Amino acid sequence: MNQKLIRYSMQIAMMKQLLALSLITESEFNQIKSKTMREYGIISDLTS
């Protein structure tokens, strides 16, 4: 479980970097984040 959470966090951090650099839109970020949350079994995002 711990490894899974670390991998999830790393993926979200990379997506936030892409968003900050305007390489993806807010909408794209939210779509990818939702899909990633489902894939990793993350139920809620307390950072939103």
Indicate the domain borders of the chain.
Answer: 3-38
Q: Note the pTM of the prediction, 2 decimals.
A: 0.82
Q: What is the pLDDT along the chain (48 residues), one digit of tens a residue?
A: 789 999 999 999 999 999 999 999 999 999 999 999 999 999 887 765
What phi, psi does 20 have (nearest 5°)?
A: -65, -30
Determine the pLDDT at residue 48. Answer: 55
Burial zone of 14 (CB within 10 Å; 0-12 exposed, 13-18 middle, 19+ buried):
exposed
Determine the pLDDT at residue 23. Answer: 98
Between helix 2-20 and helix 26-40 the angle, nearest 10°, is 170
